[in-house]
Structure 1
Amino acid sequence: MVSHLRYACLPALLFGLSACASPAPTADEAPTDAPVESAENVETTESDDPTDYAVTFNGRQIDLRPYVQGFPYSRITPDLEQGHLLYFETTPEGTWMRKIDALPEEGQVDLSQGHKLNDIDWSTRNYWGGEYNRTLEGLIFRGDERNDERINLYHLDLTTGEVRALTDVDYIYAVGFSGDDRLMAYVVRNGTEEPFNSCLRIRDLGTGEEQQIWCDEGGKDRLTWSGIEFDPANRHVVLNLQHDGDRRTTNLALFELPHPAEHDEQVFDAPRQLLERGTRHMRLGALAESFDGERLLYISAESGQDALYALDVESGTSTLLSALDHEISDAEIVEPEGSGPLLFLLLEHPTGSIAELRDLASGELLQREKFEESVYVADAFADRLALSSSSVRTPFELDLVALNADGPLSAPITMEARRLAELPAELFEKLVHCKVERVEFETFDTVETPDGPRPRTLHAYYFEPVNPPTDADRLVRMTAFYGGGNYFSSANQIMCEAGVATLSPAVRGSFGFGADFAALNDGDLGGDEIVDLFNAARWLEKNKGYAPHQIGVYGSSHGGYATMRALTFPPGTNDHNDVYPFGFGLSHAGFSDIITFFNTSNIPDWVILEAGDPTVDAAKLEDRSPLTHVDRLTSPLLLTHGANDSRVPVAESRQFAEAATAASAPVTYVEFEGQGHGISGLQNTLRYYRAVFSFLEGEVLGGGDSRSGEVRADE
């Protein structure tokens, strides 16, 4: 079974400010791209729902109901071992957790029949996935209680719906369970600012007894986001260790655990580092359930591309099993009917996914299948997989796949799939308003090829409205960071229905193109990644006929920063002498001052990786901060932010809005009370879109006739 707690920090799944922390906001834009959640066992019809779903823009009326209520289900998570399914549903009253007690033997699951587990409105708190535990006979999940990312462990009784806290700490970095589900290992981070102190603890879930194994005291070698793997005898665990505050210089650490007969006050030694200290592994993680006490499988991108290794724990010798040609997004040990255990890998690339089945011992490739969609494993158990997929053209689909070793020698494992859940066909027609085109554009630098240096070419998706406006009213928003993903975006479709196009480019630093490409912006935050945006905008001018004032940038988190940075960019940065006159910007949860962000964020190590160490590079970080150059802001900018955000504290948007207003720069600010790093809940989502369309019509198309400044909660 997939452990969402163990897999939450698989390095292949990390992106930017997500910090290996949350599977929640999508990379494209946290406020709007994820399906909206909800639930309550109340039949809601259009006549009893007083919610106003209509927004207007440039003479068009857009009905948001199909997007936010047509398929109101999200985070659909089957448990193939226990046989149930958990998911969320968003209603006008709130976001609720539902459960279906038994998966159907045939046909699709009817999500309208799930029963409501409790009265918690999950739009007011984070839920970061859970795993059923046989000892506690319930779900153990990571989450918080007020959308502030004070992440702790909780137990959910799947019969009564009762939720109780298992920990009360500042933050949980990692958690893992022994094979018998009796022991729980977890890493606690203490403190509110760098340097944090992190400790490994072991709890016996049967007795409740707990021991602290080791604390890093904020030193050179620190515990971090990670999976945790027990050996079968429960004598050791393996997890990630970070060196020198560098996210991409990591190690695998072996901890010895207490024996039941040993004294309660046993003193534990520092962990044994299994790999060479200081190696820049960049993407390092042990494969779940692969540690047999002597041998461990792990993924590393030490070479610049993901590769699969086997580690002899006693000798510390690593053996390369296979170099992979794309980034790994999921790894599961499966056992097809009629076969021994195999390794199922999902590889990610810009236009889809690749599934591989490999021999568990040798890493030999047995067979390979390509998908046009982006696929991830929702759950796995024995010979079955639940695979969820979507693409830029196709919304959500969930398939139940049975593996059998009854195929020919060329493809010995057959994969028999049946659809478990999907969007209704009639809804699909209401949601699709974009024509999608995969495009490439050249940026400013070159890459070495066998034929000599060639201009660097970047990947992007272009979403064009099926029903475009007149040339004078054309607008296009461009993803500032986290672009190029092959997934269905409700936000893009809403914009297309409104007549606004989207270009989603994968600028340097993006994932999906190998670790070397992802590292191109390390230490250069707000530098060449922004110049890539300039070249994308010029591609739009040349190939799609837009004028600069019609081209805007948008994004959340890192993308929110990049949006502000693009609109305030000093032309001398990195000696490019380049700038672009963007027409507008939409920034959600972005940081405006890198140093204040470092001092107040819960992920300061991200700043060190992407921007530099503030104790050494303070002058550079100040220059790379949009707040420093707020006087360069001449294009209208919409800022949105959740008041409870701990990853990027709300003060980052507040201070930029205040400074821009003082400088008479065109800024509009909207704050969301009770929200964290993303925006969740029906009313908050509707309010977000109203703010966006009001801004685009008044400040962009209208030339600023509407007022700038703070938009209050009642607006």
Structure 2
Amino acid sequence: MVLLTTLLSLPTTLALDVNEEGRLLVLYDGTGTRQVNEVAPDGTWRALTDLDERCANALFVPGSRRVVVEHDSGGNERGQLSILDLDDPTLTPLVHDPRFKHYLVEATADRVLFTTNRRNGVDFDLIAHDLSTGTESVLYDGGGWAMAVNPSPDGKWVVLSLASAPANSMQLVLVDTTTRAVTELTPYDAHNDQRAVSWLPGSSEFIVASNADRDWMALRKYDVAEGTWSDLLVDDEHDLAGWVCPDAEHLLVATIDDGLVPLALHKLEDGALDGPLDLPPLGCGAQAVMMPDPIWSADGAFALLTYHSPIEPPTVYRYTLATGEVVAMRPPEMPEVPAELTHPETHRVPSFDGEQVPVFVYRPIGPDLGSTVVHVHGGPEGAAMRGWYPVVSALAAAGHTVVVPNVRGSAAYGKRWYSLDDRELRLDSVKDLAAIHAWLPSIGCDPSRAALWGGSYGGYMVLAGLAFQPSLWAAGVDIVGIASLVTFLENTSDYRRATREREYGYLATDREFLESASPLSRVDDLRAPLLVIHGANDPRVPLSEAEQITGALTKRGVPCQLLVYADEGHGLAKLTNKLDAYPQALAFLREHLS
């Protein structure tokens, strides 16, 4: 447990913004929750916020000493916007309505752009808030959930990435901020994903990662005046993403390769390779789950990167374009990372239909208990990367072999792969768990001592594995997981239901299937001991999902325990709660896998 406490307590940093003076804004969780810190050009760190709750984002107001901060309450994800003066860092409300969500998009010298669902609780509108008068104007209210918003450098255009009709798809629309005219750049009903929009300095073109008409994400360029698309960089075996340098000559490119995400510098004109960045090997430099994109300084002299790996927590690096130098921007008195941490092995597991499931295997650190924990990521369209997972390392340190799969439905392995669990194919991803179980002896593991661990959709996979494959699994740890696809869709936030039905199925037409694919429908078969961890304020998977599965098991006398944290939402964000819950989870597994 000592190593678990050490790993959970190691601070992480995430890059947010850089101003014209070279000052940085970063999120730093050394106090136990993510707070906004400023890093001066000389490397001096200063905390700007000291809230009981976590901060989600912050941006400089150019030409001033002000910063706009996005923060929520108790993990409820209803972001509120406040402003602080760097000479007196006290938060003053800017856009507050605790009933709704507000996402910070951009701060300019005279206005703040944000999206909000306050109009009807479902659709997200794009709003401009005038900093001098406090008045607001609507730039877009055409409906849909704007997953990303990317204004052009001159402020004339905004690209919205809207959740579209097929599961895991995005539609791009272009908004003229003067006339509010909306142009559809991609079809609403096309099965395409679009990520990482990056404008060229002249505001006449932008780059986007897109898998339109192909399996993998390629870099495509859109010409606003001509209204035409062209391919810039294509890799037929990997997803790509790119970020344009303000010098209009260079492009940072991320290549997602079986859980690794190296970065390289390319020529913007033709995509030709200039050379890889000198980041530590075997890690993720961009486009990893919950990590921010690279951020260029306004003059293009340097970029901020958030990098992490299995042996290094998320850390801000500064990459200097002229010299190629990459320097870690670590806070003072940063603790040492334990030397015994290791990188995983990579394998492919044959599944029931001949598909090959990518998995990462973390071997035990120290004494081998002979047991296995299969750690399933959330999503379902998320992905397990070869990145910083302190719980996985702690499980390995406790003597378990930890298998981290990217079951069908996972991102980063092509469109075909992430579509193989949509709607009526849902239980095929659960069958991948059975295939992994059958494969365990080939890596020297005892299949009779195997447990499931997962959060969010991974929590659904834990419950589904225990319910649909009761003879296979010895125990399960479910964190904010879905017990019933029906009650989840009925009780989740309205804005999420509108999107998640496209992935799981529609209550109006698919209820019978949704019930049949729900672990709760097979709860009488579930017999493995279960530990459930949930936040009381979860806006995605309501607490009622945890209560109904543990209630049903308690009535049947199946060993189960529910840990509820009153000040958390979808997962655990506060160090005090992590240090309470995760040691209990490791003790639970040790008891039931010994």
**TM-score, normalised on structure 2?**
0.87
Once the two structures are superposed, residues 336-375 of structure 1 have per-residue CA deviations (whole angstroms, 9 ceiling, x without a partner) of 7xxx532211122125223233333444444456943211
SS at match of 1:427: coil
SS at match of 1:344: strand
Matched, 1:464 2:380: no
Which residue does 1:250 correspond to in 2? 170
For the Cα contact (< 8 Å) 2:216–2:239, is it kept in 1?
A: no
The structure 2 residue matched to 1:387, chosen from 305, 310, 314, is 305
Once the two structures are superposed, residues 465-485 of structure 1 have per-residue CA deviations (whole angstroms, 9 ceiling, x without a partner) of 23224xxx5321102335642
Which residue does 1:120 correspond to in 2? 51
Which residue does 1:238 correspond to in 2? 159
Matched, 1:420 2:313: no
Which residue does 2:389 correspond to in 1? 489
**TM-aligned CA deviation for residue 172 of structure 1:** 4.2
Q: How has the CA–CA distance of structure 1 residues 496 and 425 changed in structure 2, closer, same or farther, with 3 Å as cutoff?
A: farther
Which residue does 1:409 correspond to in 2? none
Q: How has the CA–CA distance of structure 1 residues 493 and 295 changed in structure 2, closer, same or farther, with 3 Å as cutoff?
A: closer
Partners of 1:462 and 1:328 lie apart in 2 by: 23
Which residue does 2:557 correspond to in 1? 664
Matched, 1:157 2:62: no
**TM-aligned CA deviation for residue 638 of structure 1:** 0.7
Q: Residue 596 of structure 1 aligns to which amino acid in structure 2?
A: T
Matched, 1:403 2:294: no
Q: Residue 230 of structure 2 aligns to which amino acid in structure 1?
A: T
SS at match of 1:190: coil
The structure having more radius of gyration, on CA atoms, is 1
Q: Which runs of 4+ in 1 moved over 6 A?
A: 422-426
SS at match of 1:586: strand
Once the two structures are superposed, residues 418-464 of structure 1 have per-residue CA deviations (whole angstroms, 9 ceiling, x without a partner) of 34339999833x36255732222211223xxxxxxxxx322212112
Q: Residue 420 of structure 1 aligns to which amino acid in structure 2?
A: M
Q: How has the CA–CA distance of structure 1 residues 240 and 693 changed in structure 2, closer, same or farther, with 3 Å as cutoff?
A: closer
TM alignment of 1:681-700, pairs within 5 A:
681-700=574-593
Q: How has the CA–CA distance of structure 1 residues 425 and 536 changed in structure 2, closer, same or farther, with 3 Å as cutoff?
A: farther
Q: Residue 388 of structure 1 aligns to which amino acid in structure 2?
A: T
Q: Percent identity?
A: 21
Once the two structures are superposed, residues 141-195 of structure 1 have per-residue CA deviations (whole angstroms, 9 ceiling, x without a partner) of 33312311112333233332212332234444755337x54333332213786xx
SS at match of 2:363: strand
For the Cα contact (< 8 Å) 2:129–2:136, is it kept in 1?
A: yes
TM alignment of 1:195-234, pairs within 5 A:
196-216=122-142, 222-230=144-152, 232=154, 234=155
Once the two structures are superposed, residues 603-634 of structure 1 have per-residue CA deviations (whole angstroms, 9 ceiling, x without a partner) of 22442232111111000001111111111111
Q: How has the CA–CA distance of structure 1 residues 422 and 487 changed in structure 2, closer, same or farther, with 3 Å as cutoff?
A: farther
SS at match of 1:622: helix
Partners of 1:524 and 1:157 lie apart in 2 by: 52
Once the two structures are superposed, residues 71-109 of structure 1 have per-residue CA deviations (whole angstroms, 9 ceiling, x without a partner) of 335436573643245342445xx54736355233xxxx5
For the Cα contact (< 8 Å) 1:129–1:141, is it kept in 2?
A: yes
Which residue does 1:410 correspond to in 2? none
RMSD across aligned positions (CA): 3.1
For the Cα contact (< 8 Å) 1:435–1:465, is it kept in 2?
A: no
TM alignment of 1:266-345, pairs within 5 A:
271-281=182-192, 283-285=193-195, 287-290=197-200, 292-302=202-212, 303-325=214-236, 331-334=242-245, 340-345=248-253
Q: Residue 585 of structure 1 aligns to which amino acid in structure 2?
A: G
Partners of 1:191 and 1:74 lie apart in 2 by: 34
Matched, 1:541 2:479: no
Which residue does 2:289 correspond to in 1? none
Q: Residue 67 of structure 1 aligns to which amino acid in structure 2?
A: L
For the Cα contact (< 8 Å) 2:17–2:59, is it kept in 1?
A: no
Which residue does 1:576 correspond to in 2? none
SS at match of 2:434: helix
SS at match of 2:206: strand
Q: How has the CA–CA distance of structure 1 residues 683 and 206 changed in structure 2, closer, same or farther, with 3 Å as cutoff?
A: same
Q: How has the CA–CA distance of structure 1 residues 286 and 476 changed in structure 2, closer, same or farther, with 3 Å as cutoff?
A: closer
SS at match of 1:164: strand
Which residue does 2:519 correspond to in 1? 626
Which residue does 1:509 correspond to in 2? 409
Q: How has the CA–CA distance of structure 1 residues 613 and 369 changed in structure 2, closer, same or farther, with 3 Å as cutoff?
A: same
For the Cα contact (< 8 Å) 1:397–1:423, is it kept in 2?
A: no
SS at match of 1:465: coil
Q: Residue 210 of structure 2 aligns to which amino acid in structure 1?
A: S
**TM-score, normalised on structure 1?**
0.73
Partners of 1:162 and 1:426 lie apart in 2 by: 29
Q: How has the CA–CA distance of structure 1 residues 198 and 689 changed in structure 2, closer, same or farther, with 3 Å as cutoff?
A: closer
Once the two structures are superposed, residues 527-577 of structure 1 have per-residue CA deviations (whole angstroms, 9 ceiling, x without a partner) of 1111111111111123313132x101111001011100110017xxxxxxx
Partners of 1:484 and 1:279 lie apart in 2 by: 26
SS at match of 1:324: coil
SS at match of 2:229: strand
**TM-aligned CA deviation for residue 276 of structure 1:** 3.8
Partners of 2:485 and 2:576 lie apart in 1 by: 31
Once the two structures are superposed, residues 286-311 of structure 1 have per-residue CA deviations (whole angstroms, 9 ceiling, x without a partner) of 62333745433322111121122222
Partners of 2:12 and 2:194 lie apart in 1 by: 33
SS at match of 2:124: strand
Q: Which has the higher contact order (CA 8 A, sep 6+)?
A: 1
SS at match of 1:445: coil
Which residue does 2:260 correspond to in 1? 352
Which residue does 1:601 correspond to in 2? 492
Which residue does 1:31 correspond to in 2? none
**TM-aligned CA deviation for residue 248 of structure 1:** 3.9
**TM-aligned CA deviation for residue 639 of structure 1:** 0.6
Q: How has the CA–CA distance of structure 1 residues 554 and 249 changed in structure 2, closer, same or farther, with 3 Å as cutoff?
A: closer
The structure 1 residue matched to 2:374, chosen from 474, 478, 490, is 478
For the Cα contact (< 8 Å) 2:56–2:70, is it kept in 1?
A: yes
Partners of 1:424 and 1:120 lie apart in 2 by: 22
Q: How has the CA–CA distance of structure 1 residues 64 and 533 changed in structure 2, closer, same or farther, with 3 Å as cutoff?
A: closer
Q: How has the CA–CA distance of structure 1 residues 587 and 79 changed in structure 2, closer, same or farther, with 3 Å as cutoff?
A: same
Q: How has the CA–CA distance of structure 1 residues 239 and 693 changed in structure 2, closer, same or farther, with 3 Å as cutoff?
A: closer
Partners of 1:393 and 1:119 lie apart in 2 by: 28
Partners of 1:236 and 1:114 lie apart in 2 by: 35
Q: How has the CA–CA distance of structure 1 residues 387 and 636 changed in structure 2, closer, same or farther, with 3 Å as cutoff?
A: same
Partners of 1:434 and 1:617 lie apart in 2 by: 44
Partners of 1:457 and 1:565 lie apart in 2 by: 21
Length, aligned pairs only: 575
The structure 2 residue matched to 1:563, chosen from 449, 459, 462, is 462
Partners of 1:436 and 1:350 lie apart in 2 by: 12
For the Cα contact (< 8 Å) 2:424–2:513, is it kept in 1?
A: no
For the Cα contact (< 8 Å) 2:196–2:242, is it kept in 1?
A: no
Partners of 2:102 and 2:240 lie apart in 1 by: 20
Partners of 2:68 and 2:233 lie apart in 1 by: 34
SS at match of 2:57: strand
